[in-house]
Amino acid sequence: MESIDYSVILGIDAKHLEQLRLTFPTWVKHKPSLLEHPLVIFCDFSVEFRDILKVVSEHPKVDICRWPPDGVEYPVGTSKWNDPQRYKMLAGFVHVPPKMVTTQYWLKLDTDTVAMGMDDWIDIRWFKENPAIIAQPWGYTKPPDQILKLDKWIKDANRDWSFINPPLDLKPNPGSDSVSHKRIISWCSFFNTLFSKMCSDDAQTYSGIGLLPVPSQDGYHFYMATRAGYVVRRENMKARRWSHCGSMRSIKNAVEESMNG
């Protein structure tokens, strides 16, 4: 069994709590070693601590905090990528872990992720080079101008001195809704806690308390790791018996298969 020092991080609002009611029993059944690691949860005011604790009652060590800080407002956009609720919850994964996590790594699990089996799913070799990120491979970024915005943000902040790699300068094809490149997606992902502190500090310094330069947690973390020259490992989490679902219907179907299998 793996012996990696990590905590599990969840972001919860009303929608994600309903997902967690369904998926958490699959984690307990098929990945019970998760219960041996601290569970840190941040939540907004749409849910009560007691309701969350009922859902995760089988976990022996849970720490919950409110997010975001008082006075933080998230801009309203015209697409789902700029939805203020989405932005708020993703920002929590950048700013909360460095303040709440005391382990070397933290594991981000999305609440629409179902455990299908294989408790010994973590390969200790993933951590050999002290990577900044270990996550599922992904092949594009949406919206298509996100990377260019991060390039500009770093330039405007005069932050280039600390990076060993140049701007990514990823330009989408005309009319495309995405830009293709080798990156990660974070529904089941490990982050180095010291690395994430750098990311949180920079976002707070150059964007503001509780804010991000772009409304994307994994896009921002991936960008910072790449520019800094840190190791980013892409590992197939589906092959480790995790299933990531895109709707309540698919969650329910996967949970039924998981619990009855």
- Whether pLDDT at 58 is above 80: yes
Residues in a beta bridge with 233: 134
What is the per-residue pLDDT across 66-124, written as a single tens digit (0 to 9) for each?
A: 999 999 999 887 678 889 999 999 999 999 999 999 999 999 999 999 999 999 999 99
What is the reported pLDDT for 162?
78
CB 255 within 8 A of CB 23: yes
| Percent residues over pLDDT 90 in the chain | 92
Better-scored residue on pLDDT, 2 or 220:
220
- Chain centroid to CA 230: how far? 17
For 156-206, give the DSSP string.
HTT-GGG-SS------PPTT-SSEEEEEEEEEEEEEEHHHHHHHHHHHHHH
How far is residue 151's CA from residue 190's CA, in Å, rounded to a whole number?
24
Q: List, for residues 209-251, the tens digit of each pLDDT value.
A: 999 999 999 999 999 999 999 999 999 999 999 999 989 999 9
Domain ranges of the chain: 6-137+183-260
- What class has domain 6-137+183-260? alpha beta
Strand order in the sheet with 232-234: 62-66, 39-43, 6-12, 105-109, 179-192, 133-141, 232-234
pLDDT tens-digit map of 150-165? 999 999 998 777 799 9
Residue 213 makes CB contacts below 8 A (sequence gap 6+) with 149, 150, 153, 203, 206, 207, 220
* Tens-place pLDDT, residues 12-37: 999 999 999 999 999 999 999 999 99
Average pLDDT over residues 181-188: 98
pLDDT the model gives residue 48: 98
Please state, as a whole number, how many other Cβ atoms lie within 10 Å of the Cβ of residue 63: 13
200-217 residue pLDDT tens? 999 999 999 999 999 999
Any residues with CB less than 8 A from the CB of 254 and at least 6 apart, and which? 26, 114, 116, 243, 245
Collapsed DSSP state (helix, strand, coil) of residue 106: strand
Q: How confident is the model at residue 49 (pLDDT cuts 50, 70, 90)?
A: very high
pLDDT of residue 1: 43
pLDDT (0 to 100) of residue 78 = 67
